[in-house]
Amino acid sequence: MSRGTAIYGARRLLLVLGTAFIVSSVTFLAIHALPGTAFTCEKNPAGCAHQNAVYGLNDPLFIQYRTFLWNLIHGDLGYSYINQGTQVVPLLLREAGASLLLGLFAIVVTIVVGLIIGVTAAVRQNTWLDYALSSFVVFGYSIPSFVLATFIIILTGIALPNWAGSIGWGAPEQIPIPAIALGLPYAAVVARLVRASMLDVIRQDYVRTAWAKGLSSRVIIVRHALRNALIPVITIGGPLVTAIITGSVVIETIFGIPGLGKEFVVSITTRDYGIVVGLYTFYAVLVGLANLGVDLLYPVLDPRIRYA
Residue 45's pLDDT is 64
Residue 161's pLDDT is 61
Residue 159's pLDDT is 66
Q: Using 50, 70 and 90 to split pLDDT, how confident is the model at 67?
A: confident
Q: Which residues have a Cβ under 8 Å from the Cβ of 87 and sit 6 or more positions away?
A: 76, 77, 78, 79, 80
Its pTM surpasses 0.85: no
User: Can you spell out the DSSP letters for 159-189?
Assistant: H-TT-TTSS-SSSGGGSHHHHHHHHHHHHHH
Across all residues in the chain, what is the average pLDDT? 79
Q: Using 50, 70 and 90 to split pLDDT, how confident is the model at 36?
A: low
Q: Which residues have a Cβ under 8 Å from the Cβ of 31 and sit 6 or more positions away?
A: 271, 273, 276, 277
Q: For residue 206, count other CB atoms closer than 10 A to its CB.
A: 11
| Angle, helix 88-123 to helix 260-269, in steps of 10 degrees | 130
Within the chain, residue ranges assigned H as helices are 3-32, 45-54, 61-73, 88-123, 128-142, 145-159, 176-201, 205-212, 217-219, 227-235, 237-255, 260-269, 273-301
Burial 28-65 (b: 16+ CB within 10 A, else e): beebeeeeebbbeeeeeeeebeebbeebebeeeeeebe
Check pLDDT > 60 for residue 150: yes
The CATH T-level fold of domain 94-269 is: MetI-like fold (1.10.3720)
The total number of residues written for the chain in this structure: 308
Check pLDDT > 80 for residue 182: yes
**How many alpha carbons lie under 13 Å from residue 64 in its C-beta half-sphere?**
20
**Rounded average pLDDT over 104-112:** 89
Range(s) of the chain covered by CATH 1.10.3720.10: 94-269
Are 24 and 284 in contact by the 8 Å Cβ rule? The answer is yes
Residue 87 pairs with which residues in a beta bridge? Answer: 79
Q: Using 50, 70 and 90 to split pLDDT, how confident is the model at 163?
A: low
Of the listed ranges 38-47, 153-162, 257-266, 280-289, the one predicted with least confidence: 38-47
Q: For residue 101, count other CB atoms closer than 10 A to its CB.
A: 15
**Rounded average pLDDT over 195-204:** 85
Question: pLDDT of 2-28, one tens digit each?
Answer: 777 778 888 888 888 888 889 888 888
Residue 73's pLDDT is 81
